[in-house]
Amino acid sequence: MQRHDLTDWVIHFIHKRNAETDPLTLSFDLKEFNLDELPDSFSYNGEPIYLPDRYENYVYNRPSDDYSFSVLKKIMHDGFIRAGWSFRNYAPTIYGPKAAVCFTEMPLYGLIEYAKNRNKQHLVEDYGIAFLKRELFGAGARPVIYGLSTVHKEAERDDLFFRKGFRNLSSETGIGLKEQYRYVYTKLDSSKKTDWTHEREWRWADLDETFDVPGLPLFAETRKISFSRVIIIVKTSSEAQEIVGYLKTLHDSGGTNFNRRYDHQIISNTSVVAIDELKKVVNNMRLIKLDDLPLHSLHKIKKITVSRETHEKVKSVWEQANVISLQKSKEFYEKYPLTKNGFKQGRSGFTKIVTFDASSEITQALINLNIAIADAGGFYELFGLKYYECQLLEVEEEAAAVATGFLTAELGQDFFFQSYYY
């Protein structure tokens, strides 16, 4: 018998960041544990573990109340889904020494309906990353354990499991440290019940301390686990197009600025689905599952072929932009005012010329000509622009302004420049 409430996929919810639950802004008393900052996990002896990616947050930093769509893009950029302690009311709800990544086995229609009901608390929205259940199981994820056969009891002083994490079940409950991340407190037999069973939750944790990232590798290159397919869920068609473009940028960049390599194969095999598009092609959204999605509703990155005509045009326009840039910046320098001491003094720094269009033939031609290089931050940087070199940022900005204006006009694609100060 085929049951419609079963699915081959599990989904990781993505929601708006909340300062009350965000580990980076959490008002949680770490001094009680003799800690200065939140660890990524604990060893089974209770020693805190800090993985060396924290400095990377400054590169793709997001505000503490950032929106779900931006959180999704940060996950893609980082290449992994960060494991956490699932704080509620300033207390962790993940037991044991290992932080966890949470998923739901609800079909897509269940996620959409659930998101409607919980969106007011900013806990769930129509954004997610879906994995095949069998592959996620192979990576170590398991269904959670709802409740205990014994009485709920947490580890206290003199207990073998005391202080082996932020919150631990007593050794008397029969659940070992390696399985405690799966436990969800459940109480159904009273008026003040605690019931999360409807979430059909799965969890993953790095139980054997295998990975050098603090979470489940998604696009981060690793030989330890492998996913053949991933589906990213967004709300709108425009968001789907943006995510596809971002997938192309990540693929072209090869990795983050801190040498974390991306797995090109899984990025190529990642599809994107927009909820608003499904509503136009699916008769009954109350029954839709990821297993049943029509192929034409899935977006993926595509190989871009550059015509000879476009190749020659881009090459010629870039050469013209260099001539104009050099000429105009020299003229600007010669008119630049002198200080009282007779020097031309200004700011120090440099500029970047960038474009954000990942899916255009123009950008691909710039890549093929070794002019543009993808950056995992979501843009393509152009290198080699000629300008009058004089140690003045103002002159380099003049060159960049003239070049970007010319490139935009001649190639029909937006180019920008960004200034950076020393």
The tens digit of pLDDT for each residue in 73-118 reads: 999 999 999 999 988 877 889 999 999 999 999 878 777 776 666 6
Give the model confidence (pLDDT) of 307-337 as tens digits.
Answer: 999 999 999 999 999 999 999 999 988 888 8
Three-state DSSP class for residue 369: coil
Task: Tell me the pairing of strands 270-274 and 230-234.
Answer: parallel
Report the amino acid identity of residue 100: A
Q: Residue 294 has what pLDDT?
A: 78
Cα–Cα distance for residue pair 194/147, rounded to 1 Å: 10
Question: Domain extents for the chain?
Answer: 9-297, 308-421
Cα–Cα distance for residue pair 200/143, rounded to 1 Å: 8
Q: Exposure pattern of 44-70 as b/e (b: 16+ CB <10 Å)?
A: beeebeebebeebeeebeeeeebebbe
Q: Residue 64 has what pLDDT?
A: 47
What tokens were used for 110? 């269940």
Task: Tell me the pairing of strands 183-184 and 145-146.
Answer: parallel
Average pLDDT for residues 7-15, to the nearest whole number? Answer: 90
Three-state DSSP class for residue 317: helix
Q: Residue 168 has what pLDDT?
A: 96
- Phi/psi region, residue 322 (left: phi>0; alpha: psi -120 to 50; beta: rest), is alpha
